[in-house]
């Protein structure tokens, strides 16, 4: 993990970060992106807890001393 961002809604999160960060195609609409999140989080949960964007960086290899 290299960082995180806190937002009040998926609309805010998805409007402020590049679509490629989520693996979404360039032609996807904001509404379609939000609907994809509804599979995991209801609108009530979003309003109650807010939204956390976790920024990660994939490693080319495991650090020394770390086993699979």
Tens digit of each residue's pLDDT (9 = 90 or more) over 11-55: 999 999 888 888 888 899 999 999 999 999 999 999 999 999 999
pLDDT at 4: 93
Q: Is residue 63 very low, low, confident or very high in pLDDT (cuts 50, 70, 90)?
A: confident
Of 9, 28, 10, nearest to 19 by C-alpha is 28
* Of 56, 61, 66, 68, the residue nearest 5 (C-alpha): 56
- Cα separation values, 56 from 3, 29, 53, Å: 7, 24, 10
> What is the reported pLDDT for 6?
96
| φ/ψ of residue 57, rounded to 5 | -125, 125
pTM value is: 0.76
Q: Show the domains of the chain with their CATH numbers.
A: 3-55 (2.30.130.30)
At which residue do the structure tokens 């086993």 appear? 67
CA 32 to chain centre: 14
């Amino acid at each position: 993990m290299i960082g995180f961002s806190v937002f009040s809604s998926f609309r805010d999160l998805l409007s402020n970060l590049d679509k490629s960060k989520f693996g979404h195609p360039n032609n996807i609409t904001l509404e379609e992106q939000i609907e994809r999140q509804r599979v995991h989080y209801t609108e009530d949960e979003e309003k109650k807890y807010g939204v956390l964007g976790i920024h990660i960086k994939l490693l080319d290899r495991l650090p020394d001393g770390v086993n699979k």
